[in-house]
Amino acid sequence: MKVRTLIALLALIVALLAVDTPAFSTAAFTSKTTNTGTVSAAVDWTPPTVTLTNPGSTLRGTATVTATAADAETGIATVAIQYLAPGTSTWTTICTASTAPYSCAWDTTPRPDGSYSLRAIATDKADYTTTSAVATTTIANAITVSLSDPGEAVRGSVPLTVTLGNAGSTSYAVRIEYAVADSGSWKTLCSAASCTWNTTGFANDFYDLRAVATANGTTTTSAIIEGVVVDNLAPTVTMTDPGSPLSGVRTFTATATDAHSGVEEVTLQYAANGSSTWTTLCTVAEEPFSCRYDTTKIADGTYSVRAIATDNAGNARTSATIANRVINNVVASVSLEDPAAVISGSVPLTANAASSAGVASVRIQVAPAWTTVCTVNTSPFTCTWNSAAVADGLYDFRAVMVDKAARETISATVTARRVDNTPLRGLDIQSANGGSTPGRIEAGDTMTFIYNDRVNLGSIVSGWNGSALAVTLRARDGNLLGLGSNGDTVDVLRNGAVVNLGSVNLRQNYVRSNNTASFAATMTASSVIINGVPVTVVTVALGPAASSSNRVRTVSTTASMVWTPSSLVTDLSGARASNAPITESGALDRDF
């Protein structure tokens, strides 16, 4: 090509000399004018420069291969990027680019694993070419590395195993690594395909795990197991004194907390005084850790009670024992049925009473001051109480039985039942999974807030008429609010301000510790008929996450959400709503 260019240039020079050569004439005059022809041509004697950028020591899947090229005279015409497969001598073109950036996507999956050479060939517009230095890389698509999942919560010694797929005869160096969750700062846990993780040497916290396999300079990493909580600290647990004497159906209660993996279950037990044989009353997996138990199933006598709390990592702690509680179902028993957590209007109050001496009467009373609502002499021991005759607030209830021997027996107190005759209040709270993962807050899920009456929608958001409104659903870890790991709470915001829907305690650990997860959402409202009454239903439909998806967890246990409505909401007549908490109706389920 250089010879052809030189010949053309010499021909051009000869032509120019022919134009400028003077010619003789026989004419009788002499011309004083001369014609001069000027022709210029760009000359490119310099080949282009080209450099191939190494795409990495190890490639998998589709990789981008890039070259840089320049030519100061005529410019770059094309850049071809090529590879040389292992054991071959023929270069294959991946792509040819005519404009910068000179790059292409190389699908390595059809190629066998191994060491490959890469180069770039640049051609300028004068047809000069330059070949780059060769870069070497390794394709490693075949091997897979997987690490056994130890579970969401671990304690003590935890076995970990690495599995290599399609490793062939290649010898791989394998190690298991850990990092504090979301830190990305990886450290070696052990350099073997299997080992035991002694978690007692680690702080109680969330950790990420992965496996790494290396051979011939090629490193392959497993999928990361995210957010494994190390919890070697047992929960705290306290048994509530059930009182004495005990008779009939009584409520047994314990309190338990766990700051790391959360409380999995609490078992309530009893044993005869002086005995080491404990019998389970009930096992409860969610707060409140309580159950109703018919003490007539236990022989009369003196007993001790205790509670055992177990967290999700398997740590267990036993409460202090409450001793010398007397069960006596021979003489008399009396109990008052729970009228409801929230009371309004006229409600039935019902007691259950029995005595071997016969029941003379049962008084049903309400505190403060233990005022008698009614005295009933025969079964059924029930009467109606008009709660509208008292001020809204918290009230206690009990029943007093008098047997025919004139002996009184007082029931356990049903405490802190709220009288709320404010017309508007929350009726129910529900959620539905519309995403891909049950038990995980994500796009497609919905939350439904149901009132017991029609609502002035402008009191929820100023000027709102119920049409689709862009909002933000915010889910905060319960630890941020002092509610513990299982107190994660949801509220709804509009332009950064809280919407007057109140808040929902999810009663589970949906958000990673001390984190807040936000989702773009759409809020709508409609009026429906429930039990013949028109009520307002507000629905919040979740869109994409507005924060990192790593901030939420997948919950596998069931729970009942608790909605605390905002008292700033009003009905159509302007009366404000009650902020009495409302527990999700229906069977326990995994929300979202």
Q: What is the pLDDT of residue 433?
A: 93
Task: Report CA dihedral (476, 478, 481, 482) to the nearest 10 degrees.
Answer: -170
Pairing label, strands 516-530, 469-476: antiparallel
- Classify strands 263-272 and 206-215 as parallel, antiparallel or unpaired: unpaired
Question: For residue 589, what pLDDT band results from cuts at 50, 70 and 90?
Answer: confident
- Per-residue pLDDT tens over the stretch 204-221: 999 999 999 998 788 889
Mind listing the pLDDT tens digit for each residue in 160-177? 999 988 776 678 899 999
Q: Is the peptide bond before 368 cis (omega within 30 degrees of 0)?
A: yes
Q: Look at residues 230, 246, 275 and tell me which one is the last residue of a structural domain.
A: 230
Sort 547 into a burial class: Cβ within 10 Å, 0-12 / 13-18 / 19+. Answer: middle
Rounded to whole angstroms, the Cα distance separating 457 from 405 reads 60
pLDDT at 562: 96
Q: Is residue 396 scored above 70 in pLDDT?
A: yes
Select the more confidently predicted residue: 14 or 555: 555
* Gap between the Cα atoms of 490 and 473, Å rounded: 7
Number of other residues whose CB lies within 10 A of the CB of residue 410 = 16
Looking at the structure, tell me whether residues 459 and 568 fall in a common domain.
Answer: yes
Number of structural domains, the chain? 5
DSSP class of residue 511 equals B
> Other C-beta atoms within 10 Å of 49: how many?
15
**455/555 same-domain check:** yes
The confidence score (pLDDT) of residue 61 equals 83
Percent of the chain with pLDDT over 70: 92
Burial class (CB in 10 A: 0-12, 13-18, 19+), 36: exposed
Extended strands (E) in 387-441 = 393-403, 408-410, 414-419, 426-432
Cα 115 from Cα 121, distance rounded (Å): 20
228-237 b/e (C-beta count within 10 Å ≥ 16 → b): bbbbbbbbeb
Mean pLDDT of 491-503: 97
Of 215, 230, 245, the residue at which a domain comes to its end is: 230
CB 256 within 8 A of CB 289: yes
3-state secondary structure of 524: strand
Outline where DSSP puts E strands in 20-150.
49-53, 58-59, 62-70, 76-84, 91-97, 102-107, 114-124, 129-131, 135-139, 144-147
Overall average pLDDT of the 507-535 stretch = 92
User: Does the pLDDT at position 8 exceed 50?
Assistant: no
Could you tell me the pLDDT band of residue 337, with boundaries at 50, 70 and 90?
very high
In this prediction, residue 88 carries a pLDDT of 93
| pLDDT tens, residue by residue, 434-458 | 988 999 999 999 999 999 988 999 9
Domain assignment present for 218: yes
* Per-residue pLDDT, 31: 37
**Judgement on whether residues 449 and 565 belong to the same structural domain of the protein:** yes
How many C-beta atoms lie closer than 10 Å to residue 11's C-beta? 10
CATH of the domain at 408: 2.60.40.10
d(CA 548, CA 539): 24
Distance CA 132, CA 514 (A): 53
Q: Does position 10 have pLDDT exceeding 90, yes or no? A: no
Instruction: Scan for tokens 């929608």, then name that residue.
Output: 457
Structure tokens at 466: 């119920």
Distances (CA, A) of 536 to 424, 463, 466, 529, 542: 10, 16, 10, 9, 20
Specify whether 80 is located in the same domain as 130. Answer: yes
Measured CA to CA, the distance from residue 476 to residue 488 in angstroms comes to 6
Q: Is residue 21 part of a domain?
A: no
* One domain for residues 430 and 578: yes
Has residue 309 been placed in a domain?
yes
Instruction: Please give the structure tokens belonging to residue 519.
Output: 């989702």
Most confident of 12-21, 501-510, 583-592: 501-510
Helix (H) or strand (E) holding 227: strand 225-230
Tell me if 542 sits within 8 A of 443, measured CB to CB. yes
What length does the chain have? Answer: 592
pLDDT at position 141 is 78
The tens digit of pLDDT for each residue in 120-144 reads 999 999 999 999 999 998 887 778 8
Q: Which of 326, 351, 372 is the last residue of a domain?
A: 326
Residue 465 exposed, middle or buried by CB count within 10 Å (0-12, 13-18, 19+):
exposed
Q: Which residue has the higher pLDDT, 277 or 550?
A: 277
Average confidence (pLDDT) over 501-522: 96
Same domain for 546 and 484?
yes
CA distance 240 to 252: 7
Q: What does R_g of the chain's alpha carbons equal in angstroms?
A: 41
| pLDDT higher than 50, residue 463 | yes
Claim to verify: residue 452 and residue 576 sit in the same structural domain: yes
pTM: 0.38
Based on the fold, state whether residues 548 and 507 are members of the same structural domain.
yes
Q: Is residue 12 part of a domain?
A: no
Please state, rounded to an integer, the average pLDDT across all residues of the chain.
89
- Whether residue 567 is found in the same domain as residue 433: yes
Q: What phi, psi does 479 have (nearest 5°)?
A: -65, -30
What is the pLDDT at residue 42? Answer: 54
184 φ/ψ sector (left φ>0, alpha ψ -120 to 50, else beta): left
pLDDT of residue 113: 79
Q: What is the pLDDT of residues 369-385, one digit of tens each?
A: 999 999 999 999 999 99
408 occurs within a structural domain: yes
248 Rama class: left (phi>0) / alpha (psi -120 to 50) / beta: left
Angstrom CA distances, 189 to 152, 466, 492, stand at 18, 55, 42
Residues ≥6 apart with Cβ < 8 Å to 338:
414, 417
User: What is the residue range of 303's domain?
Assistant: 236-326
Same domain (yes/no): 315, 364: no
Q: Which of 452, 432, 451 lies closest to 441, judged by CA? A: 432
Residues 441 and 559 in one domain: yes
Q: What is the pLDDT of residue 168?
A: 66
Task: Report yes or no: 177 and 189 within 8 Å, Cβ to Cβ.
Answer: yes
Is the pLDDT assigned to residue 247 strictly greater than 90? Answer: no
pLDDT confidence of residue 407: 79
Q: How many angstroms separate the CA atoms of 12 and 19, rounded?
A: 11
Q: Given this model, what pLDDT does residue 210 score?
A: 96
How far apart are the C-alpha atoms of 592 and 438, rounded to whole Å?
Answer: 6
SS3 11: helix
Q: Are residues 203 and 260 in the same domain?
A: no
Q: Supply the pLDDT for residue 237.
A: 97
d(CA 582, CA 561): 8
Helix (H, G, I), strand (E, B) or coil at 478: helix
- pLDDT-derived band at 404 (thresholds 50, 70, 90) equals confident
**540-582 pLDDT, tens digit each:** 999 999 877 789 999 999 999 999 999 999 988 788 999 999 9
